Amino acid sequence: MPDTKNRRLPRPFWWGAIAFGLVNIPVKLYVANRARDLALRLVSEAGTPLQRRYFCSAEDKPIADDDIIRGFPLEDGTHVTLTEDELAAVAPEKSREIDLKSFVPTEQIAPIYFDKEYLLLPDKGSLKAYRLLARALHAQGRSGIATFVLRDKERLVAISAHKGLLRAETLRFHDELRTPQEIGLPAPASPDAGLEKSLRTAIDRLSEQEPQKKTLKNPYRLRLLQLVEKKLKAGEDVYTAPASVDSENAEADVIDLMQVLKNRLGEKTQRRASSENDGDSGDGALDSRSKAALYRLAQDMEIEGRSRMSKRQLIEAIDRHR
């Protein structure tokens, strides 16, 4: 039986409410999936972790993180530079409401529109209304369509229900989709009767009621873990990073391979649970942390662009998302 007592529970990264008509249901938003890729770091032949630096080709010199600004590229190769204040001025207004504008049959939403799935859980005092909404959406086979601001971007979202749980699936905007004509798909032709029969027969023979569990596992992940375990046991190509490596500036997404190997099938490596994730507020507390610790916190909060941020930018981004 899994040990849930000491397991670090996932944290919601958005709080707000589902609103329509006179109804207001406080909810918390969670990412529905979790990253399971094994991170392979870039190292030298001696096993020393490498650091990524920005370099100005025109001035032939490295650029510090604090000296980097954003630019909008034009077709002729020039850029229109934009300050953080200018970008903030045109950003969508932050809101804590998922304002449902309409309800449509779920089956009428083409799968190509679905982007990323989230889970919505009831917040304090909203369980009864939450259950009623989930039951109504499931019974009618409908999804609520809304727009809301997530990670400083306006998103289109569909709220649906499955087994009493509300799901929020962000949708791609129509102009983000490619048409068959854009990718050169030929016009449909009359099907060959014999080929059509063969295809139907093959599909019927391989049809199942639900996907087999073995097809939903990642075989590459398991093979990679087995390879690393074999090398560890043989003592091959195993290096210890020198003590002089600057851990604050090194990339923070490092996986404890020994722990992963103990779990074998890849139970998610728990990030270090300490005071760096709980109980602190304000820039003063964040200033005392290393950049690597700030990166892990930003990763937990699903902050976009975190890998390109300086320490000060990470602090500001974390403060904004709290």
Q: What is the pLDDT of residues 223-267, one digit of tens each?
A: 787 888 887 787 777 766 555 444 444 443 344 444 544 454 344
Domain locations in the chain as residue ranges:
14-36+91-176, 219-321
Give the pLDDT confidence score for residue 278 in this predicted structure: 42
Q: How confident is the model at residue 103 (pLDDT cuts 50, 70, 90)?
A: very high
Residue type, 272: R
Task: Return phi, psi of residue 160, to 5°.
Answer: -130, 175
pTM of full prediction above 0.85: no
β-pair type (142-150, 79-82): unpaired
Share of the chain above pLDDT 90, in %: 18
Instruction: State which fold the 14-36+91-176 domain adopts.
Output: Ku70; Chain: A; Domain 2 (2.40.290)
- State the amino acid at position 137 in one-letter form: L
Rounded to whole angstroms, how far apart are CA atoms 273 and 158? 34
